[in-house]
Amino acid sequence: MAKKKAKKAKAKSQGNATATKEKTKAADPSAVVFGTGKKGKNIGIAAEVPLDNLHEIKKFNPRSDLGDISQLTASIKKKGLLQPPVVRPKKDKRGNSVDGEYEVLCGYRRKASAIAAGLKAVPVVVRLDMDNDLDALGLAMSENSTDARYALPPLDEAAAFNRMLTGDGDKKNEMSFAEVASACGCSAMKVRKSVPLLDAPREVKRRLAEGTLSKQAAIAVTKLDTKVQKAVLPDLGDRATEREVKELANDFAEAQGVKAGKGKSKRPTPGSSGDKIALRRGMKDVRRMLLLMTSDVVDYEEEGKEEMALRLKHGVAFGLWSIGECEHPDDLDDNSFLEAFGGLVEQVAEMSSEEEEEGEEEEEGEEEEE
């Protein structure tokens, strides 16, 4: 009887000790509280971690420059830090976690702004499933792609894509275009079209970094012969489209009696020549379909059938996205869509003008016969 009482007392004492420990842990703002379930157990939240304990690792930050953080700093001063940085536990040389120390995966601008705002500690999201450095980079890229206001500069984006494609120098970790796209939350065509920017001429890179040349125009220029590149660059403004580049290049090439050509990229694109021919044919078919749809959009808008025009416009956006000419198929206000759609409208207008001219010529011919 006495032994049973002793066991009960011991169990109660241990239970109280565990409860006290849990309360203490919950009361500690730097303690990490993890979720439940298969995914939840790898993601935790710490209410307050000293900024000095958040270590910046350059290879996880796809940005070469944080840019202007004054607006974000002002927002944090007024409202606090609304979106916590994402971190992973820092490890020592033996691979053991260092208590209370973290490596920043996403949120370098937020950390810098929090420091500028005078904060000493911030909440963080802790990830235990980001031991692989390329997974961590993909997470950072994915987060940056969701907010157009803080979009990555094109060259930084291209460099990050290339790091993932090449496995950061390790063949065992090389990724395909589709895998990189999936990790970064974008289309495989965007990855495909961005990477060649790393081989662009110095002048193209400079203007792209300064914002005096659009990404679409820079990609188009990179495909041109060196001589043609030098000829068309001075005539391209900051809003030049891919279509404008092609027109200027063709005009110059025709005047000089040369081919506009394509600049050979040092970064080969996977796929057989048969695959590429099939892809080009498929893209031509899609463009023909998109021109017909755009023509219908124009007609519906002229007739005041806005709802029908809008539905069809979303279809055009998805079609443009599928061939890599626009980046956000669900956002009709996105600049890449507006540029691409504007080009289609211009083509439709040109086709209509040509048809009208042909019709007039036929009428004149009939009058002459009479």
Specify the pLDDT at position 215. Answer: 85
The proportion of the chain whose per-residue pLDDT surpasses 90, expressed as a percent, equals 6
10 Å CB burial of residue 44 (0-12, 13-18, 19+) is: middle
Between 362 and 289, the higher pLDDT residue: 289
Specify the pLDDT at position 236. Answer: 83
Specify the pLDDT at position 365. Answer: 54
Specify the pLDDT at position 94. Answer: 82
Confidence of residue 152 (pLDDT cuts 50, 70, 90): confident
Tell me the average pLDDT across 328-342: 67
Q: What is the pTM of this model?
A: 0.59
Confidence of residue 228 (pLDDT cuts 50, 70, 90): confident
Confidence of residue 210 (pLDDT cuts 50, 70, 90): confident
Cα distance between residue 192 and residue 324, in whole Å:
9
Torsion of CA 4, 8, 9, 11, to 10 degrees: 140
- For the stretch 17-44, pLDDT in tens is 444 444 434 446 566 666 666 666 777 7
For CA atoms 70, 75, 81, 83, give the dihedral sign: negative
Confidence of residue 213 (pLDDT cuts 50, 70, 90): confident
Q: Order of strands, edge to edge, in the sheet holding 43-50?
A: 32-34, 43-50, 121-127, 86-91, 97-106, 54-56
Cα distance between residue 258 and residue 256, in whole Å:
5
Tell me the average pLDDT across 236-262: 75
Specify the pLDDT at position 269. Answer: 47
Tell me the average pLDDT across 130-157: 79
